[in-house]
A and B are shown apart, each in its own frame.
Chain A
Amino acid sequence: MTVVTATSLDEALDALAGDPSAQLLAGGTDFMVEVSFAHRRPASIVTLRRVDELKGWWRDGDTLVLGAGMTYTELQAEPFLDVVPGLAQAARTVGSPQIRNAGTIGGNIATGSPAGDTLPVLVALDAVIVLQSAADGERRVPWNEFFLGPKRTARRGDELVTAVRVPVVHGRQEYLKVGTRNAMVISVAGVALVMDDDAHTVRVGLGSVGPVPLRAPAAEAFADSTIDWATMTIPDGGAAQFGALVSAAASPIDDQRSTAAYRRHAVGVCARRALQRCLS
Chain B
Amino acid sequence: MSGERARRIEGALKVTGRAEYAGEVRPDGMLHAALVQAEITCGDVVGIDDSAARHTPGFVDQVSYDDARSLAPSTATALIREPVVHFPGQPVGLTAADTLLAARTAAARVRVDYVERPSVAAIDQALDEAYAPAMAGRIIGASHRGDPAVALTGAHLVVRNRYQTAVNNHHPMEPHVVVCWWEGEQVVVHTSTQAVYGTRAIIAHALAMPADDVRVVCRYLGGGFGCKGQLWWPWMLWTLTASKRTGRPIRLELTRAQMFTLVGRRQETVQDLAVGFDATGRLVAIEHDVLAQTSTHGEYCDTTAEVSRRLYACPNVRTLHRLVRTNEPQPIPMRAPGTAPGTFALESALDEAAEQLGIDPVELRVRNFADHDHDADVPWSSNSLLQCYQVAADRFGWAQRPASATVVDGRWRIGWGMATTCYPAHRQPCRVRVRLQPDGTIVVQCGTQDMGSGTYTVLAQMVADALGVPLSQVTVELGDTLLPEGPFSGGSQVTASMFPAARQATDALRAQLAELGMGHDETLADAVQRIAPDGIEAEGAATANADIDVRCMSFGAIFTEVGVDADLAEIRVRRVTAAFATGRVLNPLLTESQHIGGLIGGIGMTLLEQTVTDRSSGRIIGDNLADYLVPVHADMPEFDIALIDEDDTYLPGGVKGVGMLGTAGIQAAIANAIHHATGTRVRHLPIRIEDLLHELPATTPGALPSMSE
Contacts and interface: CB of A to CB of B under 8 A. Distances in A.
A254 B706 contact: yes
Given A256-B621, A256-B622, A269-B567, A261 B697 contact: yes
Nearest to B699: A259
A256 B696 contact: no
A265 B693 contact: yes
B332 to A, nearest CB: 26
Nearest to A176: B568
B621 A180 contact: no
A183 B570 contact: no
Contacts of A254: 705-706, 708
Contacts of B629: 180-181, 185
Interface in A226-280: 253-256, 258-259, 261-262, 265-266, 269, 273
A256 B707 contact: yes
A254 B704 CA distance: 12
Contact of B693 (A184, A255, A256, A262): A262
A182 B574 CA distance: 13
Interface string A163-204: 000000000000000101111111000000000000000000
Interface string A122-135: 00000000000000
Contacts of A261: 696-697
B705 A183 contact: no
Interface string B537-581: 000000000000000000000000000000110101000000000
Given A182-B634, A183-B634, A269 B624 contact: no
A37 B690 CA distance: 29
A266 B627 contact: no
A210 B110 CA distance: 42
Contact of A181 (B635, B693, B697): B635
Contact of A255 (B411, B568, B633, B709): B709
Interface of A is mostly: loop
A259 B689 CA distance: 11
Contacts of A36: 624
Q: Give the one of A33, A254, A262 with max B CB within 10 A.
A: A262
B648 to A, nearest CB: 39
A226 to B, nearest CB: 21
A183 B633 contact: yes
Contacts of B608: 180-181
Contacts of B612: 256
A72 to B, nearest CB: 16
A183 B568 contact: no
A256 B613 CA distance: 12
Nearest to B689: A262
Interface in A6-39: 33, 36-37
Interface string A96-133: 00000000000000000000000000000000000000
A183 B635 contact: yes
B631 interface: yes
A259 B709 contact: no
B15 interface: no
Interface residues of B, number: 28
Q: Give the one of A36, A178, A180, A273 with max B CB within 10 A.
A: A180
B708 A265 contact: no
Interface size class of A (residues with CB under 8 A): 20 to 34
Given A178-B568, A261-B697, A256 B627 contact: yes
A184 B627 CA distance: 11
A182 B572 contact: yes
Interface string B683-709: 000000110010011000000011111
Contact of B631 (A37, A181, A255, A269): A181
Interface in B622-671: 622, 624, 626-627, 629, 631-635
B606 to A, nearest CB: 13
Nearest to B696: A261
A259 B635 contact: no
B696 A178 contact: no
Nearest to A33: B626
A76 to B, nearest CB: 15
A259 B705 contact: yes
Contact of A262 (B411, B572, B690, B706): B690
Contacts of B624: 36-37
Nearest to B604: A181
B697 A259 contact: yes
Contacts of B633: 183
Contacts of A37: 624
B570 A265 contact: no
A252 to B, nearest CB: 12
Contacts of A184: 632, 634
B570 A178 contact: yes
A186 B697 contact: no
A263 to B, nearest CB: 10
B705 A256 contact: yes
A266 B632 contact: no
A36 B626 CA distance: 12
A125 to B, nearest CB: 25
B697 to A, nearest CB: 6
Contacts of A265: 567-568, 693, 696
Contact of B635 (A33, A182, A255, A269): A182
Contacts of A178: 568, 570
A185 B631 CA distance: 11
Contacts of B708: 253-256
A72 B567 CA distance: 29
A265 B697 CA distance: 12
A80 B664 CA distance: 45
Nearest to B695: A265
A273 B624 CA distance: 33
A254 B626 CA distance: 17
A254 B612 CA distance: 16
A261 B705 CA distance: 12
Contacts of A258: 689
Contact of A186 (B626, B632, B693, B696): B626
Contacts of B411: 273
A153 to B, nearest CB: 19
A166 B384 CA distance: 64
Nearest to A261: B696
A154 B632 CA distance: 36
Contact of B696 (A180, A262, A273): A262
Nearest to A178: B568
10 contacts: A180-B608, A182-B632, A183-B635, A184-B634, A185-B629, A186-B626, A261-B697, A265-B696, A269-B568, A273-B411
Given A255-B707, A259-B696, 18 more contacts: A33-B626, A178-B568, A178-B570, A181-B608, A181-B634, A182-B572, A182-B635, A183-B635, A184-B632, A255-B709, A256-B709, A259-B690, A262-B693, A265-B693, A265-B696, A266-B568, A269-B567, A269-B568
8 closest residue pairs by CB, A with B = A183-B634, A182-B634, A269-B567, A182-B635, A256-B707, A261-B696, A255-B708, A183-B632
Interface of A: 33, 36-37, 178, 180-186, 253-256, 258-259, 261-262, 265-266, 269, 273
